[in-house]
């Protein structure tokens, strides 16, 4: 049985976190490449996204039809790439530790050939920019205990997003991990226009670092953006951001000392969501 328990988040030196997250970010591109080059792109936004698999502690891509139906995934406990079929039988496995990114690509090419998909479709061409993406980056010095802990950020937010999905049902999107920044999000529709591109919605998210803040953070923002200056203060440690984008931020450093991190982060998401929803609906 899959356990949806909260895993306490502990202090990690910022530079240590950033170094490992950079390697994790690059490794995840190997998984994303399968979705980008081998799935039908019905949805221009979601075909390359990943999903958190709580029972396996993995980031997994979309299912692909070949000689077998399979999908690629990245383990955040062993730092291995996997290809599995619908019954979760392992079709291919590659340990990334002390390898280089180009070696993982060569392995992926071999796997695609074995599944009769052809490696000629595989390339580093992706529809977004990733800072530091180069084939010779080594996956060295990976601390598996710390990597597993980084997985807890995705696992914990996955748990909270499931709670929102159970409350709002069809008004929520899938829980997605976006390989461009490795952020995990869920969208909650507050005004359905009949056209998903024109819907009014609130985004709940987790961002590893380097985009919205210098440290990992939980965030809430709306589409379209709304004015936040007149909104009520958020729980202690959280704040309304009004610089390059508008929304709510909760830096991870504000919750390390808390005994009940789960309730606090959930209350942050709920508070910011309710305020943005009300602002959007006028």
Bridge partners (DSSP) of residue 58 are 53, 75
Write out the two tokens for 85: 């079929």
Residues 265/160, Cβ–Cβ less than 8 Å: yes
Do 112 and 33 share a structural domain? yes
User: Could you tell me if residue 251 is inside a domain?
Assistant: yes
- What are the strands, taking DSSP E only, across the chain? 51-53, 58-60, 64-65, 69-75, 80-85, 90-95, 176-178, 183-191, 200-207, 217-223, 239-242, 246-251
User: Could you tell me if residue 79 is inside a domain?
Assistant: yes
Helix (H) or strand (E) holding 262, with range, is helix 261-281
pLDDT of the residue at 131 = 72
Specify the DSSP class assigned to residue 163: H
User: Could you tell me if residue 269 is inside a domain?
Assistant: yes
Write out the two tokens for 120: 């000629």
Expressed as residue numbers, the domain containing 277 is 181-281
pLDDT less than 50: residues of the chain: none
pLDDT of the residue at 132 = 66
Contacts of the segment 137-141: beta carbons below 8 A, 24+ positions apart: 137/23, 137/26, 137/100, 137/101, 138/98, 138/99, 138/100, 139/23, 139/26, 139/27, 139/79, 139/96, 139/97, 139/98, 139/99, 139/100, 139/101, 140/97, 140/98, 141/19
pLDDT of the residue at 282 = 82
pLDDT of the residue at 46 = 60
The last residue of one of the domains, among 70, 102, 121, is 121
Do 26 and 102 share a structural domain? yes
Q: What does the pLDDT look like over 68-111, one tens digit per residue?
A: 999 999 999 999 999 999 999 999 999 999 999 999 999 999 99
Specify the DSSP class assigned to residue 172: B
Provide the whole-model pTM. Answer: 0.93
Identify the three-state secondary structure at position 50. strand
The last residue of one of the domains, among 121, 142, 169, is 121
pLDDT of the residue at 45 = 59
pLDDT of the residue at 196 = 73
The last residue of one of the domains, among 121, 139, 164, is 121
User: Could you tell me if residue 145 is inside a domain?
Assistant: no
Give the number of domains in the chain. Answer: 2
Helix-, strand-, coil-residue percentages of the chain, each rounded to 5: 35, 25, 45
Biggest distance spanned by C-alpha atoms of the chain: 58
Do 192 and 111 share a structural domain? no
User: Could you tell me if residue 152 is inside a domain?
Assistant: no
Q: What is the dihedral of CA 212, 215, 220, 226, to 10 degrees?
A: -30
User: Could you tell me if residue 8 is inside a domain?
Assistant: no
Which residue stretches of 126-237 are H helix?
Answer: 144-168
Which residue stretches of 96-143 are H helix?
Answer: 101-114
In the block, residue with structure tokens 């729980």: 235
Distances from the Cα of 71 to the Cα of 5, 67, 68, 228, angstroms: 26, 12, 10, 41
């Amino acid at each position: 049985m899959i356990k949806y328990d909260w895993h306490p988040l502990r202090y990690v030196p910022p530079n240590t976190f950033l170094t490992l997250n950079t390697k994790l970010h690059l490794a995840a591109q190997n998984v994303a490449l399968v979705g980008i080059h081998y799935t039908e792109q019905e949805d221009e936004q979601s075909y390359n996204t990943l999903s958190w698999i709580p029972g396996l502690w993995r980031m997994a891509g979309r299912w692909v039809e070949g000689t077998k139906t399979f999908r690629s995934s990245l383990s955040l406990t062993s730092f291995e790439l996997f290809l599995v079929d619908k019954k979760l039988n392992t079709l291919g496995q590659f340990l990334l530790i002390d390898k280089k990114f180009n070696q993982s690509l060569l392995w992926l090419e071999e796997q695609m050939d074995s599944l009769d998909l052809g490696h000629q479709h595989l390339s580093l061409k992706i529809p977004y920019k990733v800072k530091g993406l180069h084939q010779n980056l080594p996956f060295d010095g990976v601390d598996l205990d710390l990597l597993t802990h980084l997985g807890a950020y995705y696992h914990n937010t996955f748990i909270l997003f499931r709670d929102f999905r159970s409350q709002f049902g069809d008004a929520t999107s899938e829980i997605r991990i976006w390989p461009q920044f490795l952020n995990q999000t869920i969208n909650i529709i507050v005004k359905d226009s009949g056209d998903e591109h024109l819907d009014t919605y609130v985004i709940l998210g987790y961002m590893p670092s380097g985009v919205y803040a210098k440290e990992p953070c939980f965030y809430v923002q709306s589409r379209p953006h709304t004015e936040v200056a007149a909104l009520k203060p958020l729980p202690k440690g959280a704040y309304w951001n009004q610089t390059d984008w508008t929304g709510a931020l909760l830096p991870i450093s504000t919750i390390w000392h808390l005994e009940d991190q789960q309730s606090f982060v959930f209350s942050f998401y709920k508070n910011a969501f309710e305020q943005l929803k009300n602002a959007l609906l006028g």
